[in-house]
């Protein structure tokens, strides 16, 4: 059993993979419905906006589902620069998560200062006692029950990544990046994790539609205040 699997089985709230996967799927579904419903968005010149629509809906659904669930997860919205790009971080006990779109299943997100900063947490991960995470025999040494329970509760940074060809969701992954967030130490597919997230009802879709419009309006206001902004 590798270190990430051990964390997922013994330390991390088992409902979290399904929460992230289910929320992302729901965000994709609603984004697709919007594009199919609005004929202007189907024009060739409008396709460039589809990625932003998808990203906005995924963030919106992560917020929405967290508010409407009993999951012990803290969420923060962080601004990279004033009136600029914002990103969400989620914290559960000692585990910090970010959610990012990637170009392919095995890829990491583009290098960003916030992810490099968070990845510094992973330099102190002890797999077993004083063992380094780079010990070649690390996975074999944490196989017994007693050894799993001895994994120390250090702060750990994990990435949830998702994506697919075109406007389709083909994968959701959880990964443990190295220091510097340049490569994966471990990665696991959570696309089909058991989820408490339910399909959107008609009334919920209407509510989310209003929230989506409000978020778009807020982003446009930020752009105007910052002479274009950085999104």
Terminal CA-CA length for the chain: 40
Section 47-71 average pLDDT: 90
Two tokens, residue 145:
């029950």
Regarding predicted confidence, which is higher, 38 or 129? 38
For residue 82, pLDDT over 90 is answered with no
Q: With pLDDT > 70 as the criterion, what percentage of the chain qualifies? A: 78
In order of 36, 56, 83, 110, 142, the CA distances from 127 in angstroms are 48, 36, 40, 27, 7
Two tokens, residue 87:
């990103």
pLDDT for the residue numbered 230: 39
Q: Please list the residues that pair with 189 across neighbouring strands.
A: 173
The pTM (predicted TM-score) of the whole model is 0.82
Sign of the dihedral through C-alpha 105, 106, 111, 114: positive
Beta carbons within 8 Å of 87's beta carbon, 6+ residues apart: 77, 78, 80, 98, 114
Section 8-33 average pLDDT: 94
Q: Assess contact for 71 and 15: CB atoms under 8 A.
A: yes
Residue pLDDT, tens place only, 109-137: 998 889 999 999 998 775 533 344 445 55
């Amino acid at each position: 059993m590798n270190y990430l699997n051990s964390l997922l089985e013994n330390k991390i709230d088992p409902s979290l993979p399904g929460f992230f996967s289910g929320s992302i799927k729901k965000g994709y579904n609603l984004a697709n419905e919007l594009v199919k419903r609005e004929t202007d968005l189907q024009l060739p010149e409008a396709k460039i906006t589809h990625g932003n629509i998808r990203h906005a809906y995924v963030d919106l659904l992560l917020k929405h589902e967290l508010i409407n669930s009993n999951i012990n997860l803290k969420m923060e919205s962080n601004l990279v620069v004033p009136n600029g790009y914002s990103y969400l971080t989620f914290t559960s006990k000692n585990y910090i998560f970010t959610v990012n779109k990637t170009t392919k299943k095995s890829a990491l997100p583009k290098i960003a200062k916030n992810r490099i900063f968070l990845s510094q947490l992973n330099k102190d991960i002890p797999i077993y006692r004083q063992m380094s995470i780079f010990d070649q025999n690390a996975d074999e040494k944490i196989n017994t029950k007693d050894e799993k329970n001895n994994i120390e509760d250090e702060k750990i940074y994990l990435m949830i990544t998702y994506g697919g060809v075109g406007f389709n969701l083909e994968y959701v992954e959880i990964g443990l990046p190295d220091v510097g967030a340049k490569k994966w130490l471990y990665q696991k597919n959570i696309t089909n994790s058991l989820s408490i997230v339910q399909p959107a009802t008609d009334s919920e879709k209407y509510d989310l539609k209003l929230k989506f419009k409000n978020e778009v309006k807020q982003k446009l206001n930020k752009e105007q205040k910052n002479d274009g902004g950085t999104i």
